[in-house]
Structure 1
C-alpha cells in the first residue's frame, strides 16, 4: 500500500510539473555558443536559481549572496576547491600556542578596485566597521571572540581573542576586505558599489535581473582568467535555465535540475559537473509555537515524511537521506538513526499529543522550481496524518526579511521553513552554532527553529574553546545526537551538487558549500 501511494504521488506530481520551461529571447547579436561577443570580447553568462539578497560582504548570509561577494572580494585567507584554507590577502599567518593571537603578514602588492592600497590600515578599517554595533552586520558573529586588533607594521596585524576559538581561521575567510574609501562612504554605498580586490570587479546590479562584473586587469595575482565580462542571471524556473544552457544563452548553470540530467548527458556541447556537497535540506520547525513546541508533534512530522521518496520525487535520485544535523562531507559528522517512514507511528504520536485530527499549518519557501516542488511534497506527506499545510512562496529577499526581522521569538510568524544550509566557513561550527545555539535566534543568527537546549548551547561553546580535535569530535557527536533526537527540523536530504557548462568554458566550479567560483574562468 505504501509503494502504491508513493507511485501514485510520483505520477501525479510528474504530470503537474512536466515541461514548464521556455526559451528566453536575447536581442544581443553575440555568439553565445562560444562565449564571445561580436566585438571579440570574451564574456560568459551564469544562470542561477535565486536572486542575490545583498552585495555587502560583511552582511551576506545566504549562499548566493556569499558567492556573488566572493566574485569581487577576498579575505585575509580563502578556500580552495575542497574548502581547505589557503592564503589570500595575507601571504602567511601564525597562531599562538594558547590560541589567543592570530598574526597575519599581508601582501604588499595589492590595490583595491578603486586604486586604494591594501595594507594594515585597510584591515583595521574593515575590523572597525564589522565591530561597530551601530552597523549591525552579520560578520560580527564571526568576530565575536576577537577583543582587539593590533597594527604591528604597515603589512602586519595581530588579532587578540578573548578566549580560544577553534574555528577562528575559517571565520577569517568569511570576512572579505572592503576598500577603506568605500567604507567611508557608508553602508548604503557599500551595498550598491562593491569595491574589493578580486579577479573581477563590479559594473552593475539590477536586483532580480543581472549582476554584471568585468575583469580586474590589475589583479595582484596576475592573469588568472581570460574572461572579460561575467553576467550572473537569476532564473528561478528550472526549465528556463536549462533552455538557456541548450541555446547557449547561458554558459554555466547551477543548480542543474536533476530531472534534466539524462536529457543533457549525451549533448556533445555540454559537460555535466557532479560533486559532493555539504548542503543539508530540511524543514525548520518553529519550536516556540504551538503545536510545534511538543516534541511528539515534531517526531510525528519526521515519521510522516518518506525521505527516500523525497529524494526520488524532488531530487530525481540525486541525494542522500539527512541522517544527522549536517552533511557527511562536513567536519566531525556523526551518523544518527534516521526517522523511518511510518505513517501509523506518526498518527499515534499526534494522538498522544492531543492532535488526533491533525491541525492546520503553513510552510514558507522561496520561488525556485525545486523549492515549490519540495513544499508540495511536504504538503502531500503531512496530509496523510491530518496536517493541512498551506504553501507560502516568497521571493528570496522578502522571505529573508520575514524570517530574520523579528526581534523576539514571540514576534516570529514563521511556522515551517523549507530551506537548506551549508557551512560556508567549511567547519563543524559553521554547521552548528548559528543553527542550534539559543544565543542565535533571529535576528542574531539562523536558529530559525528557535531551538533552545541549554546542554547544546554549552557544548557548542566547549567545542570552540578546545583545540583538541578528539575532544571536539566527541562534543560534536553529543550535539548531533541530542539535536537529532529533539527534532527541531524535518530532516530531509543532503545534496549532490549538479551544474553544467558549455564545453568552451573551463575553470568555473561549484564548491561543496554550493558557492560558484569564477576566479579562474577560461574561455577556450
Structure 2
C-alpha cells in the first residue's frame, strides 16, 4: 500500500514537471538573439574593477584591446593597432600605430590620448583594482605619443621584461573624453604616478570612477566593442544590443564580427533550471555543462535535434587553497606547516574525483601551468596515500589524544582539534560533490572538514580579505604568458590582491622576478620551471584538475565552434541560418 502511494506521488510529480515544461511560452526562434547561460552574473561591468570570469566573457563584446590572443592559433593578433607592438632597439621601448578608422560611439576618433589615459587608470594607486595593478606598475615607466602622429604610441618599461611586448593584451582602452571631460587628470603623470601627490579633487574624481554607477548603469558602461549594455538586472540577466553603423562593420578580424542583433547573458544557477531551459529552447549557448548532466542529455532525442555539443580542453585548473597566514584570532594556524599541507594533498583522491565526479572529462593538474604550455615542468602527481598522510600529520604533532577519532594539537597553550571550514561556491554540482569526497577522505585521517558554501561574489571577497581556512577555487589562464606575481607575489597578499593563501617570501619573489626579466627564452623557461617546483614543494594549493568543457550551441546558428582558449564560444560569430529567419514560432 505504501509503495503504491509513493508511486502515485512520483507519477504526480513527473506529470507536474511535464505540464510545466509544456506550458512554457514558445520562443520566437527567428529572432537574431543569442541567449547565453551563466551560473552567475558578474559583480561589476566596470572595465577596470572587480575582474571575474563572467565579466571577462561579457567584456569581449563591449570592450576592445590593442591586441589579443587568437582562439584558433593561440598567437597574438592586432585588434586596434595596425601591427603588433615592436621594440625600437633597446628591448625596453616599444611602439605601435593605431588604426585610423576606429570611432567611439559619439563618432570621435580613437587616438593615442585614449591609450595613455587607459594606462594611467590601470596603474593609478587610487583605482580600486589591487589584484591587477601590480602587473602593470612593474612594467610601465612611461607612455607617450609621436610628436607628428597622434596615432603612434610609444611605451617604455622600467627594465627589460618578458611581458613588455604583450602588456597591452588585457588593458581595455578607455575613452578619455567620456571619463575625464574636463581634463582633471591631465596633470597626473604616468612616470612616477605612485609618488604623485593627489589633490582632494583628484580623490573625489576617483571615488566616482570606482563607484557603482559605472558598474551597473548601462549608459555608463562604454567601450569600443560592437555591443552596448542595454539592460543589467542583477540576479537575472545582462542584455547587449548591437550598435548601428559601428566601425567594426565589414572588418575581417574574428573578434570584430557581429552577427547577433542581441546577446542576453542569462543567470541560471541550478542544473535543473538549465535542463528545462534547453528543453524549451530558452537558451542558445551553454558554457560549460557538468559531465554527468551532459552525458544524460546526449541520450535525449530532443537535445541532439536542437543542439550541437563540442568537447574541448581548457586553460583552467581547480585547487584547494590553504590560509597559510591566518590572523590567529578568528582563524587558527592549522595550515602553516608544510608537512600538514602535503599530508592533506596525499588524502585527496584526485583520480577518483576525475573518474566519478567529472566522468573522466578532466586531467590531473600538478602545478600552476597547463601541460599544453611549453613552459610546463613535468612534475610527478602527488599520490593518493592515506598512510603517508597519517605519518606526516603525526610528524607535525597532530595526534588523537582523547580517542574521539579527531586529531588534536596544543597550539600556544590551547588544545585545538583539527577541524575547519571548507569554503566553496554554490551553483556547481561538481564543487559540492568534490567537497563531499574530500570530506570523507579527510575523516579517514582524523581531520574534519565542514562545508561552507557561498555565492561567487562573497566567496572571492572573503578570499581577498583572507577570511577563510581552506577554499576550493579555480583559475582561468590562457595559452600565453601569465605573470605569476598576480597570484603568488608577496605584495599581492599584503594589498589583498589575488594571493589568497599568503604564499611567498623574498626567495619566491626573486624567482618571479627572474621569470619576468629574462627575455632569453631558455633562461625564462628555466626560472618558470623552478618556480613551479617551489609551488609543488611548498603546497600552498592542492592542485586538483583541469576540466574538459562541453559547450552547447543551438543548431539554428552557423559557426557553432568551440575553443580551448577563453571565451570558448565566440557569441559574436554565431550567424542565424537562413531557414530560421522565416520560422516565427518553434
Please state which band the TM-score falls in when normalised by the shorter chain: 0.7 to 0.9
d(CA) in 1 for partners of 2:434, 2:164: 35
Task: Determine the structure 1 residue equivalent to 2:539.
Answer: 487
Q: Is the radius of gyration larger for structure 1 or structure 2?
A: 2
Runs of at least 4 residues of structure 1 off by over 6 A?
A: 22-28
Structure 1 runs not aligned, ≥5 long: 1-18, 407-411
Shift of 1:147: 0.9
1:368 aligns to 2:427 (yes or no): yes
Contact 1:202 1:214 in 2 (8 A): yes
Task: Determine the structure 2 residue equivalent to 1:3.
Answer: none
1:291 aligns to 2:337 (yes or no): no
Task: Determine the structure 1 residue equivalent to 2:82.
Answer: 91
Shift of 1:511: 4.5
1:394 aligns to 2:454 (yes or no): yes
Task: Determine the structure 2 residue equivalent to 1:521.
Answer: 574
Q: 169-178 or 246-255, which moves further after superposition? A: 169-178
d(CA) in 2 for partners of 1:402, 1:506: 42
TM-score, structure 1 as length reference: 0.88
1:335 aligns to 2:368 (yes or no): no
Task: Determine the structure 2 residue equivalent to 1:170.
Answer: 166
1:112-191 equivalent positions in 2, closer than 5 A: 112-137=104-129, 138-144=131-137, 145-152=139-146, 153-184=149-180, 186-188=209-211, 189-191=213-215
Classify 1:459/1:280 alpha carbon distance in 2 versus 1 (closer, same or farther; 3 Å): same
Shift of 1:323: 2.1
d(CA) in 1 for partners of 2:573, 2:65: 17
Classify 1:236/1:99 alpha carbon distance in 2 versus 1 (closer, same or farther; 3 Å): farther
Classify 1:114/1:384 alpha carbon distance in 2 versus 1 (closer, same or farther; 3 Å): farther
TM-score, structure 2 as length reference: 0.79
Correspondent of 2:391 among 348, 355, 379: 348
1:72 aligns to 2:96 (yes or no): no
Task: Determine the structure 1 residue equivalent to 2:71.
Answer: 81
Contact 1:51 1:396 in 2 (8 A): no
Classify 1:400/1:203 alpha carbon distance in 2 versus 1 (closer, same or farther; 3 Å): same
Compute the RMSD of aligned alpha carbons: 2.3
The alignment covers a number of residue pairs equal to 490
d(CA) in 2 for partners of 1:67, 1:511: 13
Classify 1:433/1:508 alpha carbon distance in 2 versus 1 (closer, same or farther; 3 Å): farther
Task: Determine the structure 2 residue equivalent to 1:209.
Answer: 236
Classify 1:110/1:378 alpha carbon distance in 2 versus 1 (closer, same or farther; 3 Å): same
Classify 1:25/1:128 alpha carbon distance in 2 versus 1 (closer, same or farther; 3 Å): farther
Contact 1:331 1:427 in 2 (8 A): no
d(CA) in 2 for partners of 1:461, 1:96: 24
Correspondent of 1:326 among 339, 344, 369: 369
1:198 aligns to 2:198 (yes or no): no
d(CA) in 1 for partners of 2:25, 2:321: 46
1:45-60 equivalent positions in 2, closer than 5 A: 45-60=35-50
Question: Secondary structure at the residue paired with 2:572?
Answer: coil
Contact 1:49 1:238 in 2 (8 A): no
